[in-house]
Amino acid sequence: MSGRRPVTEEEARALVEPYANVLPKSLVEEVVRKVVENKLTLEEARRVVDRVVLSYMKSLVDPGEAVGMVAAQSIGEPSTQMTLRTFHFAGVRELNVTLGLPRLIEIVDARKTVSTPIMEVYLEEGYKNSREKALEVARKLELTTIENVSRSITVDYIEYAIIIELDPEMLENRGVKPRDVVKALNRIKGKKGSVELNGLTVIFRTGLEDAIKLRRTYERVRNLRVKGVKGIRRAIVRYDEELGEYKIITEGSNLAAALSMEGVDYRRTISNNIHEIAEVLGIEAARAAIIREMMNVLEEQGLDVDVRHIMLVADAMTFTGRIRQVGRHGVAGEKPSVLARAAFEVTVKHLVDAAVRGEVDELKGVVENVIVGSRTVPLGTGIVKLMMLYPKIEAEGSE
């Protein structure tokens, strides 16, 4: 009798192998792991694999199922229970994230500018366990303008110069040195300008002759970037309990710059601006981000929506390769059927334009067939094409 010996990992994997195309990868791994962990025999393992495959196949959706409708309702209904409050990041008074219904609308509308852009910057080894190192990176990220480090900035209309009085405390706070200010000014001084440093006073002789231009230069100087990344208004270091490391939360989002910064773990750092993620990390990453953000919104409100409904929305928004908004400038508006678009929004315009152009509606989709009242709508039973099989005559008739 063959012994009751437990299967090896290779044997377990070989059992699952024939189904590797059918089952999702994570499931394959889990089955192998569980079989080995529980020390099953070959026979038992085989039965487990068969059962897993059977269960999985049974859980699949039948082609023809109205998944879009189901997904829309599954996301829409809990949305009616969402409250409209904004949430404050525990402990930090001013850092708000848009949550709830407004945020969901933002995501689904694929807004290019997010109302509260935020980045979660994770740090690399050597930086993530030290608060000082984390603060260092945070200061490198946080945007510091000349205004942020000066006690006063005045315009000298006689000499056509701008006089900046630096504040030592603010300088220290931001980790900026006076010569950084000089360096920044040197960048914009132009041919006739000159910058002079006198202790804590910087004199920027603009070499201009026009008072209006001088005024404009003054504004530029005030907002001139001395240190930090454009777009990042604040960078706050927080200790993550779960991960046991320091991370930086930024108000303002500039993924491209942050990812290339020293000390930043580019593999884990994320932003909540979907468009930015699509630009910097690609469309698949954007799809994952849409799913993550939407799940986040719903979970935070205490609503339990199955992820696959959201996956469908994310797929619909990204499968063409660029992010499309769900509304009339995106998914709905790009439908080939005139009637479908007319049924959605701006009815008259679509009908009139189509009539003028002599457009043809092929009635291939669901909406148009429902409108027209055709006998078969291409959904569910309407997708099935039946034919009779006459054994004596080889040709098919149609039903």
* Positions that interact with other proteins (CB under 8 A): 57-58, 60, 62-65, 380-381, 383-391, 396, 399
Q: Considering the complex, what minimum distance in angstroms separates the CB of residue 396 from other proteins?
A: 6
Q: Considering the complex, what minimum distance in angstroms separates the CB of residue 55 from other proteins?
A: 13
| Sign of the torsion angle spanned by Cα atoms 322, 326, 331, 334 | negative
Q: Considering the complex, what minimum distance in angstroms separates the CB of residue 286 from other proteins?
A: 24
Amino acid letter, residue 145: T
3-class secondary-structure state, position 229: coil
Tokens 């959904």, located at residue? 379
Q: Considering the complex, what minimum distance in angstroms separates the CB of residue 255 from other proteins?
A: 35
- Nearest one of 343, 320, 311, 330 to 75, comparing CA atoms: 311
Q: Considering the complex, what minimum distance in angstroms separates the CB of residue 73 from other proteins?
A: 19
Closer CB to other proteins, residue 2 or residue 59? 59
Q: Give Cα 262 to chain centroid, integer Å.
A: 23
Q: Is-contact 185 221, C-beta < 8 A? A: yes
CA 18 – CA 11 distance, rounded (Å): 12
Return the bridge partners of 202, or none.
Answer: 164, 197
Closer CB to other proteins, residue 102 or residue 365? 365
CA 65 – CA 312 distance, rounded (Å): 13
Q: Considering the complex, what minimum distance in angstroms separates the CB of residue 262 from other proteins?
A: 48
CA 347 – CA 47 distance, rounded (Å): 58
Closer CB to other proteins, residue 90 or residue 386? 386
Closer CB to other proteins, residue 58 or residue 357? 58
DSSP H or E segment with residue 147? helix 146-149
Closer CB to other proteins, residue 5 or residue 385? 385
Q: What is the DSSP string of 316-378?
A: HHHTTSS---SSTTTTTTT-S-HHHHHHHS-HHHHHHHHHHHT------SHHHHHHHT-S--S
Q: Considering the complex, what minimum distance in angstroms separates the CB of residue 376 from other proteins?
A: 10
Residue 326 phi, psi dihedral angles, 5° rounding: -75, -15
Q: Give Cα 310 to chain centroid, integer Å.
A: 13
Closer CB to other proteins, residue 348 or residue 393? 393
DSSP state, 56? H
CB atoms within 10 A of CB 13: 17
Closer CB to other proteins, residue 65 or residue 334? 65
CA 312 – CA 327 distance, rounded (Å): 15
Q: Considering the complex, what minimum distance in angstroms separates the CB of residue 56 from other proteins?
A: 11
Closer CB to other proteins, residue 62 or residue 304? 62
Q: Considering the complex, what minimum distance in angstroms separates the CB of residue 60 from other proteins?
A: 7
Closer CB to other proteins, residue 37 or residue 62? 62
Q: Considering the complex, what minimum distance in angstroms separates the CB of residue 49 from other proteins?
A: 17
DSSP H or E segment with residue 315? helix 307-318
Closer CB to other proteins, residue 54 or residue 92? 54
Which residues have CB under 8 Å from 352's CB, separation 6+? none
